[in-house]
Structure 1
Amino acid sequence: MKRLIARVWRLIRGPLQWRVLWFAHAKFMVGVTGVVRNDAGQVLLLKHRLWPEDRPWGLPTGYAIKSEEFPLTIVREVKEETGLDVKPGRLVSVTSGYRLRVEVAYEALHVGGTLTIDKFEILEAQWFSLDSLPDAMQESHRRLILGDNTP
């Protein structure tokens, strides 16, 4: 049976193989988070309107759209949520295990723009030093900021 499957697989090369793989495997949304820092080493945190009231503070984050490169997702999300321009940096974390979501986090450097928050999603945006992070923030984001990426 395995030999037959291997033969058929070799015969359907190209786009048909991709379709078979797409149907046979799990589908995920990809959440992308940016650990955005300025030249002073401060980190950009947003008070999110739609997050739990006891933990509204967190990093800029959003979902990748189809065919979008993940570093560019954080560039787009930061621009949409804050009006700021960022340059994406190194990959910091990839986390799975959520139902239909994979989380990806990148470092990013603030390079310009004027702070103008998206009032539908964001209540407030502030730069914080590492020793003054708000208590009411997502713990996973605190770990990303401090470089402790263990779950």
Structure 2
Amino acid sequence: MSKRGNVWIAVGGLVKDEKGRWLVVKKKYSGLKDMWSLPAGFVKETETVDQAILREIKEETGIEAKMIGLMGVRTGVIKGEISDNMLLFLLETDQIVVTIQEKELSEAKFMTEQELLQDNSSSLLIRYLIENPPMNKMEIIKGLDPGDHFNYTTYHLIK
């Protein structure tokens, strides 16, 4: 069993700048070490998934992004023991200056889709999303209140 238990909930963000370039990072660890991937990380117990991806992008790259919507879910089971789930969000930014979190990342920058396709260190997910762009984005609906009896401190619907 991992320190996160046997069910992992993570978020990943495809952040595009005004020129359509993608914000990509190279982790210093994990199966994606030294590969271009999306900024990503685990959801904390005190946040919603949409809050988590905004925090992760800011922490890893210094970029403040604006949410567009949910693109999909990447899910798998590791060694028949751990359910590994990542919600993939589409975001945009008008910032171009990237500040990398040196503890976790070796590189972070904006790259064109063509540059990413030509780079052998682009991850499978990056390549798939370029070749199969999401058609319909799900929106995050805020301001709903299911009632005091549930004791939610934050409540969002993604549809």
The answer to whether the superposition gives a TM-score over 0.5 is: yes
2:16 to 30, 37, 40: 37
Cα deviation, 1:86-141, whole Å, max 9, x if unaligned, reads: 01211111133322221110001114384211101011112111111022122023
Q: Which 5+ residue runs of structure 1 have no aligned equivalent?
A: 1-25
**1:97 aligned counterpart, secondary structure:** strand
Match of 1:101 in 2: 84
Q: CA deviation at 1:52?
A: 4.0
**1:79 aligned counterpart, secondary structure:** helix
Using the alignment, how far apart are the partners of 1:103 and 1:90 within structure 2?
14
Q: CA deviation at 1:80?
A: 0.5
In 2 relative to 1, CA 42–103 (structure 1 residues): closer, same or farther, beyond 3 Å? same
Q: Is the 1:74–1:88 contact (alpha carbons within 8 Å) kept by the matching residues of 2? A: no
Segments ≥4 residues shifted beyond 6 Å: none
**1:84 aligned counterpart, secondary structure:** coil
Cα deviation, 1:3-57, whole Å, max 9, x if unaligned, reads: xxxxxxxxxxxxxxxxxxxxxxx96221100001000000011111113477521
2:49 to 61, 70, 73: 70
Q: Is the 1:43–1:127 contact (alpha carbons within 8 Å) kept by the matching residues of 2? A: yes
How many residue pairs align between the two structures?
Answer: 124
Match of 2:142 in 1: none
Using the alignment, how far apart are the partners of 1:131 and 1:141 within structure 2?
11
Q: Does 1:142 align with 2:127?
A: yes
Match of 2:66 in 1: 87
**1:119 aligned counterpart, secondary structure:** coil
In 2 relative to 1, CA 32–83 (structure 1 residues): closer, same or farther, beyond 3 Å? same
Q: Which 5+ residue runs of structure 2 have no aligned equivalent?
A: 135-159
Compute the TM-score of the two structures, normalised by the length of structure 2: 0.68
More helix by share: 1
AA in 2 matched with 1:100: S
In 2 relative to 1, CA 124–83 (structure 1 residues): closer, same or farther, beyond 3 Å? same
AA in 2 matched with 1:94: V
Aligned-CA RMSD value: 2.3
Same amino acid, percent of matched pairs = 26
